[in-house]
Amino acid sequence: MSLKKFGENDIILNTMKAHPKCEFFIFDGRIYYNNVPEQAGAFSGRVYNIPPGHISLYEYNIDKATDSNDFIYPFITKEGAGSSFSTVSDKTYSTQYTWGDTITSSYPMSASITREYMVQAGTRSIGFNKQTKKSFKTAPTYRHFYALKNRLDFYGVRSEHYKVSSSYGDKNDQTINLISIPSIFYGSGIKPGTLSLKWYFTGSLVGELRDTRQNGELIEVSGTNIGSVAGVALYDEGFILLTGSWALNGESINLINGGSADNPKWIYFGAGANDTVTQTTAGANYVSASFDLSFKGITETQVLTMFAHARRGEINYSNNPTFLIHSQSQLDITSSQIYQENSSRAIYNTVSSSYLDYDARFKRQVYISRVAIYDKNKNLIGVATISNPVLKEEDQDLSFKIKLDI
Amino acid sequence: MAVTTFEILDTTKDVTTTRTLLHESIPLTGTIVSGTYGAFRSEGNIKNYTHGQFQSVYDYPYLSSSANHIFDIAIGYDESSTLSGTTNTTQQAKKINMYNQFSQVLLGYTGSNNDAKKFELDLTLDATDGFVMKEAVFVTLSRLITKDQIKKGSVSVTLGTGSWADPFSDNAGRGRKTLTDASASDTGGTANTLGGDYGLLYELGAPNLVRGLVFYQAGILALSTSSWTAPSAGSTKGETGLEFQRYDTDASSKKTVAQVFTGSAITGACDTIRHRIQNISFNNTTEINSTIYFCRVPHNTYNYSSNPTYLSSSTIRVKSVNTDTPVSYITTIGLYSSSNELLAVAKLSEPLKKDPNNELTLRVRLDY
């Protein structure tokens, strides 16, 4: 079999950028992702076996239930490589397992958005060291905010509203509503200009934030304070920090665990999104609030495009045994000294005739059904199969465009 | 942050490779294979095709985006089988083609005429007549669940060998039969052929009776009809005249295994086989190759940082007296190519304190 080499213009590598839309609707402690309702199965109340609003990592364990339709689970054997699951600590790995033991984990793994309500986000208690007789600051109460402080200042060049401390106030002393979005939902970043946060009170829209300037500022486009910035978004990291504490209407609602009722505000946006706030812990009218968070992500896929050419006068022969007329002798002469193949074997005529009992005149033609890709060492590395075989006549030029997502 | 010094990795001492095998336990219960997602023979998770060559089984009704393809079922027999050429044969050419297709792909060819090899219930493939499996049920497991390969010695298939109405729990008579590849392991009990390694599926409780084959890399089970027909000595389950299929109460609709193989279309035969699968379970394997770089930090280097925050008013933040030894906190390791191009970055879960009094070896593992 002869191989054809790709020319310098036959291979193109480019990047395909896509923007998957994500929408989360939060109501009564439940999150609805892309308006997909919960689906019940024959064995399990939830087909994916994950909480609502979550995305399943491998989408394994569909409609599974213990005993009746057992779960798929991963396991690993403790051996020299020292590999384990991240849920097993180094100490547990060393002390609880001996060589050859099986370490198990579980599926499904899932992710969803999380909300954190942080009063005085920069709070750090003061401790006292009796030995040195010096006071010291303890670990921050809200570590997630602390971890983001450098990043917020870094984006300060984009907008003053990002800065931890600026003319707009000091975030350390403010109440911050932090919404964390796992990257599985958006890819490499949130597309600037696509963020929309809607606050509904008893089903009516009372406020909407959008990043209309595409610089991360979340600006109220609907509500009582249109044009004001209620927070910022970290597009690449997947975080939204809301600090807007003005009333969106004159009603009162309980959205804080054990707290008193307050007006609807942006700092309460997303209450119930994996933050332990429920009707029981907050208050009876908690269910009057619902929230909608939508954005578009950015995914980048490298695409390798290859053009395989079947030029006229080439690729006109097949090694498929059915290419030759059946029952012809393969060998002409064979002995202990000679092995000579039959050089006059006839090719089967595949030219279609338009008439009954009439064979069309022979023409050299093949049907191309697949294109194989080899590396420089002639190792087969991929096969592209065509949905229907393509007729290639001797005087035809054909080019096959093969695309491979990397 | 600009890097001004590099530690050269000695490939003989600082770099090593490891291989980890990650497994998953895959239980496929017969309840999802037959009768759960709709009435038998019209289940929503069973896909039939107009070509009629095989039947696909999903773990959920396949019109749902939640569904995963888990395996295909097909039957076939060799043209030298006693079933070949019998009267009342349905889709005979297709069944022979299916057998040949699987045998060509999995076993390859033999002899001067390049004949496709036949499946044999042993590890020798020497065409010994008594072991040739001329009729077979093929279960092609999805790559999604077999991953790189099936773990040797982990396969278990439980088949119903009882009556049509009660194929599994009729233990007093024909009962059910469990096939396992118990003799196969990473160190032996398998043979290698064109389609990769294969092992034998023995009948549980009758260790000398081989009822099928399992191809580990290809993820294919080839089950012999002897699982249901008359057993050899030592097994009490299964019988020649087994009521293998009986779709309605009419006694005339009863079919034996041979009658199903010849008189039913492949799709119909697959329906019957699904009715008689109680459980398929195995462990899959994913091979994770890793390169480990031992990044050694000597006592007298990396005690200083070029991070702008390291200095405050031109003095080192972490030093209060100028005679103190320098201190730095290592947070990140950059791996560079020989052309000084940054290839990868490893982050530590927490910064490590480094001063001239200590030396560190940081183990960086790269999985691929």
Q: Is the CB of residue B203 less than 8 Å away from at least one CB of chain A?
A: no
Q: What are A373's two structure tokens?
A: 């890709």
Q: Which helix (H) or strand (E) holds A230?
A: strand A229-234
**CB within 8 Å of B199: residues ≥ 6 apart:** B152, B153, B155, B181, B183, B184, B189, B190, B191, B213, B214, B216
Confidence check: pLDDT of B340 > 50: yes
Number of inter-chain CB pairs under 8 A, A vs B: 64
Q: Which residue of B has its CA nearest to A330?
A: B113
Residues A204 and A350 occupy one common structural domain = no
Query: Is A14 among the domain residues?
Result: no
Quote the mean pLDDT of chain A: 93
Query: A146: pLDDT confidence band, cut at 50, 70 and 90?
Result: very high
The pLDDT > 90 percentage for chain B reads: 64
Q: Is the CB of residue A70 less than 8 Å away from at least one CB of chain B?
A: yes
Overall domain count for chain A: 2
Query: A161: pLDDT confidence band, cut at 50, 70 and 90?
Result: very high
Within 8 A of A80 by CB-CB distance, chain B residues are 18
Q: Which of B1, B19, B24, B350 is the mutation pick for testing A, counting most A CBs within 10 A?
A: B24
Please list the residues that pair with B210 across neighbouring strands. Answer: B202
Confidence check: pLDDT of B355 > 70: yes
Q: Is the dihedral of CA B177, B183, B189, B192 positive or negative?
A: positive
Within 8 A of B288 by CB-CB distance, chain A residues are 83
Of A247, A266, A301, the domain-final residue: A301
CA distance B254 to chain A (A): 30
Cα–Cα distance between A197 and A181 in angstroms, integer? 13
Cα–Cα distance between A199 and B39 in angstroms, integer? 46
Within 8 A of B59 by CB-CB distance, chain A residues are 62-63
Of A260, A280, A301, the domain-final residue: A301
Q: Which residue of B has its CA nearest to A47?
A: B66
Displacement of CA A255 from its chain's centroid (Å): 31
Alpha helices in chain B (DSSP H): 30-33, 92-106, 143-146, 257-263, 266-275
Within 8 A of A48 by CB-CB distance, chain B residues are 66
Cα–Cα distance between A183 and B310 in angstroms, integer? 31
Of A280, A301, A322, the domain-final residue: A301
Query: Is A308 among the domain residues?
Result: yes
Cα–Cα distance between A48 and A38 in angstroms, integer? 9
Do A74 and B24 lie within an 8 Å CB cutoff? Answer: yes
> ipTM of this model?
0.87
Confidence check: pLDDT of A71 > 60: yes
Within 8 A of A77 by CB-CB distance, chain B residues are 21, 23
CA distance A66 to chain B (A): 11
Of B106, B189, B125, nearest in space to B153 by CA: B189
Of B186, B184, B290, B284, nearest in space to A74 by CA: B284
Cα–Cα distance between B260 and B276 in angstroms, integer? 13
| Helix axes of B266-275 and B92-106: crossing angle, nearest 10 degrees | 70
Q: B103-142 pLDDT, tens per residue?
A: 999 999 988 888 899 999 999 988 887 899 999 999 999 9
Q: A333-356 pLDDT, tens per residue?
A: 888 999 998 988 999 998 988 888
Confidence check: pLDDT of A294 > 90: yes
Cα–Cα distance between A17 and A19 in angstroms, integer? 7
Rounded average pLDDT over B88-115: 91
Confidence check: pLDDT of B14 > 80: yes
Do A81 and B64 lie within an 8 Å CB cutoff? Answer: no
Dihedral, CA of residue B83, residue B87, residue B90 and residue B93, to nearest 10: 60
Cα–Cα distance between A33 and A383 in angstroms, integer? 37
| Cis peptide leading into residue A108 (ω within 30°) | yes
Query: Is A100 among the domain residues?
Result: no
Rounded average pLDDT over B58-72: 94
Residues A343 and A235 occupy one common structural domain = no
Residues A356 and A253 occupy one common structural domain = no
Do A63 and B23 lie within an 8 Å CB cutoff? Answer: no
Q: Is the CB of residue A59 less than 8 Å away from at least one CB of chain B?
A: yes
Residues A288 and A365 occupy one common structural domain = no
Quote the mean pLDDT of chain B: 89
Reported residue count of chain A is: 406
Query: B306: pLDDT confidence band, cut at 50, 70 and 90?
Result: confident
Query: Is A76 among the domain residues?
Result: no
Do B18 and A80 lie within an 8 Å CB cutoff? Answer: yes
Of B58, B80, B54, B53, nearest in space to B69 by CA: B58
CA distance A36 to chain B (A): 12
The per-residue pLDDT for B324 is: 85
Residues A217 and A335 occupy one common structural domain = no
The per-residue pLDDT for B232 is: 45
Query: Is A60 among the domain residues?
Result: no
Residues A236 and A142 occupy one common structural domain = yes
Instruction: Name the residue with tokens 């910035």.
Output: A229
Question: Concatenated DSSP letters for B153-190?
Answer: T--EEEEE-S-SSSTTT-TTTT-EEEEE-TT-BTTBSE
Residues A219 and A296 occupy one common structural domain = yes
Q: Is the CB of residue B100 less than 8 Å away from at least one CB of chain A?
A: no
Q: Which helix (H) or strand (E) holds A94?
A: helix A90-96
Q: Which residue of B has its CA nearest to A74?
A: B24
Cα–Cα distance between A147 and A152 in angstroms, integer? 10
Of B177, B286, B193, B167, nearest in space to B234 by CA: B177
Give me the domain span that covers residue A282.
Answer: 114-301
As to burial, measured by CB atoms within 10 angstroms (0-12 exposed, 13-18 middle, 19+ buried), residue B287 is: exposed
Residues A293 and A333 occupy one common structural domain = no
Residues A149 and A284 occupy one common structural domain = yes
Q: Is the CB of residue B277 less than 8 Å away from at least one CB of chain A?
A: no
Residues A290 and A319 occupy one common structural domain = no
Cα–Cα distance between B304 and B329 in angstroms, integer? 9
Rounded average pLDDT over B170-188: 82
Instruction: Name the residue with tokens 């208690």.
Output: A125
Query: Is A123 among the domain residues?
Result: yes
Confidence check: pLDDT of A44 > 60: yes
Query: Is A48 among the domain residues?
Result: no
Contact B239, B174 (CB under 8 A): yes
Question: Concatenated DSSP letters for A310-368?
Answer: E-TTSS----SGGGBPTT--SEEEESSS-EEE-TTPPBP--PPPSSTT-PPPP--EEEE
Residues A397 and A361 occupy one common structural domain = yes
Q: Which residue of A has its CA nearest to B290?
A: A81
Q: What are B136's two structure tokens?
A: 């077979």
Instruction: Name the residue with tokens 């927490």.
Output: B350
Do A80 and B290 lie within an 8 Å CB cutoff? Answer: no
Residues A290 and A316 occupy one common structural domain = no
Q: B244-256 pLDDT, tens per residue?
A: 888 776 777 788 8
CA distance A37 to chain B (A): 13
Q: What are phi and psi of A298, to 5 degrees?
A: -130, 120
- The residue that leads in pLDDT, B95 or A357, is B95
Query: Is A393 among the domain residues?
Result: yes
Cα–Cα distance between B48 and A196 in angstroms, integer? 45
Pairing mode, strands B149-150 and B156-160: unpaired
CA distance A113 to chain B (A): 21
Question: Concatenated DSSP letters for A129-174?
Answer: ETTTTEEEE---S-HHHHHHHHHHHHGGGT-GGGSSEETTEEGGGS
Contact B28, B13 (CB under 8 A): no
Q: Is the CB of residue B310 less than 8 Å away from at least one CB of chain A?
A: no
Confidence check: pLDDT of B236 > 90: no
Cα–Cα distance between A40 and B246 in angstroms, integer? 33
Q: What are B194's two structure tokens?
A: 């064109």
Window from A62-76, A212-226, B245-259, B350-364 with minimum mean pLDDT: B245-259
Q: B148-176 pLDDT, tens per residue?
A: 999 999 999 999 888 888 888 755 556 78
Q: B27-61 pLDDT, tens per residue?
A: 998 888 998 999 999 999 999 999 999 999 999 99
Query: A236: pLDDT confidence band, cut at 50, 70 and 90?
Result: very high
CA distance A62 to chain B (A): 7
**DSSP assigned state of B9:** P
Q: Which helix (H) or strand (E) holds A383?
A: strand A380-393
Q: Is the CB of residue B347 less than 8 Å away from at least one CB of chain A?
A: no
The per-residue pLDDT for B207 is: 77
Within 8 A of B24 by CB-CB distance, chain A residues are 72-75
